[in-house]
Structure 1
Amino acid sequence: MRIGLKTSSSWLQSLEGKHVLITGGSTGIGLAIAKEALSQGAFVTLLARSSSKLEKAEQNLAKNGDTKHKILTKVADVGVYETLAKAIKEAFEWRAVDVLVCNAGDAKTALLDESRIEDLHAIIQTNLTGVVNTVHVGIPLMKQRSPKTPMSIVLMNSQSGMYPVYGNSVYTATKYGLKGLGETLKLELMPHNIRISIVFPGYVETPMLDYCGAEDNRDLFELSKIINFYDRSKADTAEHVAKYTLEATKNGTFLVTSQFSGLMLSTFSRGSMPAESFGRALLELILYIPGRLFSFIAAAYIYYLIKHRNHKK
């Protein structure tokens, strides 16, 4: 079940002529957002670590010759501040950025104590430090125009930012951290005409989903699929995520979900942040009690599965 994002007001009237900068833009959701933004008349800048993937992405996007002049690519690792800052500043020099999409992400399924510390550091460096780096460079540049021009920052999160994903502890920690970062930035940027949208997709058909599933520890992966409610047949497409992400950005929506599972999780994890509308707040109040009751049953089942796995060892 997918939840729409229709509102009566609009923050950005249109993406026509706007500049959308996307980190992790060479594949998956980032590339899909670039395609959708171009189709709505925007200019796009793609940042990614791989020059070869960026080249392929640019060729993919520029199949229609009319859009080639609207595409800029920059090689940069979001975890390396100096090169990232240079790339973002050059993108702003090309065209002032209206929408900054922090999309770069990394994941690897394994229990924390069975993971290589290098892999864990890499996940933190990309998923959390990389976002901090990106907004630290981007915000001062956006503030130069924001008093007269509405702007947006998109933090591409995951439902694991609202639900602990078994077998991905550090990945989950970075996504929880990203939610906290977005909540604080919402308040900090309120006086500056810059809105924050945090997007919480469920499972999405992207190269990262394949990578997370191709693990040596099949027992762990099979157990994590049950505990994490993994059903690949119900995974979103990157194109669908791109569409609702940009619609939410134009509407200025803060907490963005599409599937019913995302709606339920946001009901429990919204914290002190108010809902986007009275209708959404009322819906969350109605769902809260039955949802919490269901969580007791789900938790008992999950605990049983984990203990049963440990007893088998």
Structure 2
Amino acid sequence: MRKPKITVIGGGTGIPVILNSLRHEEVDITAIVTVADDGGSSGALRSVMQLTPPGDLRNVLVAMSDMPKFYEKVFQYRFAEGDGPLAGHPLGNLIISGIAEMEGSTYSAMQILTKFFHVTGKIYPASENPLTLHAVFKDGYEVAGESHIAGYQGMIDHVYVTNTYNDDEPTASRKVVDAIMDSDMIVLGPGSLFTSILPNLVIPEIKQALIDTKAEVAYVCNIMTQYGETEHFTDADHVEVLNRHLGKDVIDTVLVNIQKVPQDYMDHNKFDEYLVQVEHDFAGLRKQVKRVISSDFLRLENGGAFHNGDYVVEELMNLVRMKKR
């Protein structure tokens, strides 16, 4: 029988957790990864080389690979602060950028590296051009650049993307639209709503593919609200923002964590962008989606609250099997 096709869309540190668990299942996986990051090592490399930023792609590559732990340690090694021009750059970012320059695109670099590291599945940058994320706030003020958005005191109304180095309309990478249309399930998130998930969805071709696809569209809602993005948001608020950007109610199923994060557990020095736990609004969700899966998806580690990838994937697999039946 044909393996179920599952496409995961997002960026940051959220989707690698899901992908790492999903690769152990009998599924055909595609990861579509944001290319709007303009901060840190990724931002520095993209401004120098005018290539799509490598950081989120690097983390997804590691999550989907069966590389030995030592190789992973080497690939993720970050140069020390005293290392001059190399300071703060993960070695993997330099490798991806070097191959991208050699091959002419980050898309081609990822196809080479997925073979090199025996990746389970396919990894596509959302666009083959670096994108600039624009956030328009409720008061009409606009901020350009993902790394600058959290610095403005206000509530975001909507976001959009532009090509960073030309005036053409942003387009999806080759094979991205086909992957979405051929999927049995699309998984959005988890990850930062406005800066990791939506930068992919507002690319016109991807937005239209999500509207047209017959795949089940599942959203893994965040556990914590995020400074500068989702203060005071309920899980229903997250879904409303996604559907509003897509132009219709595209989300079929929402997975929400209902296990409480222990009071005073979060290390707010280490995880300073995360505020309080997302509140559950079941009535608000039921107005927007067909199905709500509420469960304990919580993993507590090193003073942070994360998704337990195995628990989330167990529910996703139950869902995709039910849909196939």
Structure with more relative contact order (C-alpha pairs < 8 Å, separation 6 or more): 1
Indicate whether the TM-score tops 0.5. Answer: no
TM-score for both structures, normalised by structure 2: 0.43
Higher Cα Rg, which structure: 1
TM-score for both structures, normalised by structure 1: 0.44
Question: Which structure shows the bigger proportion of residues in strand conformation?
Answer: 2
